[in-house]
Amino acid sequence: VRDSAADLAGCDLVIEAAEDAEAGRALLLAAAQAAKPDAVLAVTSVDGSVIEQAMATGRPADVVGLHLPDPAGTLAEIAATVLTGPDVADRAAALLGRLGLTTVRCRDRAGFIVDALRFPYLNDAAAMLGAGYADADAIDAAMTLGCGYPTGPIADLDRLGPARAVTVLRALHAETREPALSPTPLLIEHVTAGKPIR
Is residue 69 a contact partner of residue 45, using CB atoms and an 8 Å limit? no
pLDDT at 16 over 70: yes
Residues in CB range of 146: below 8 A, 6 or more apart = none
Q: Could you give the C-alpha distances from 103 to 69, 85, 97, 98, in angstroms and in order?
A: 11, 18, 7, 11
Provide the angle, in degrees to the nearest 10, between the axes of the packed helices 162-176 and 153-160.
100
pLDDT at 60 over 90: yes
Looking at the structure, give the CATH architecture of the domain made up of residues 114-193.
Answer: Orthogonal Bundle (1.10)
Asked if the domains at 5-107 and 114-193 fall in one CATH topology, the answer is no
CATH topology of domain 5-107: Rossmann fold (3.40.50)
116: nearest Cα among 173, 61, 42: 173
Per residue in 108-156, pLDDT (tens digit) is: 999 999 999 999 999 999 999 999 999 999 999 999 999 999 999 999 9
CA distance 194 to 186: 12
- pTM, two decimals, is 0.88
User: Domain residues of the chain, as ranges?
Assistant: 5-107, 114-193
Per residue in 62-87, pLDDT (tens digit) is: 999 999 998 778 999 999 999 999 89
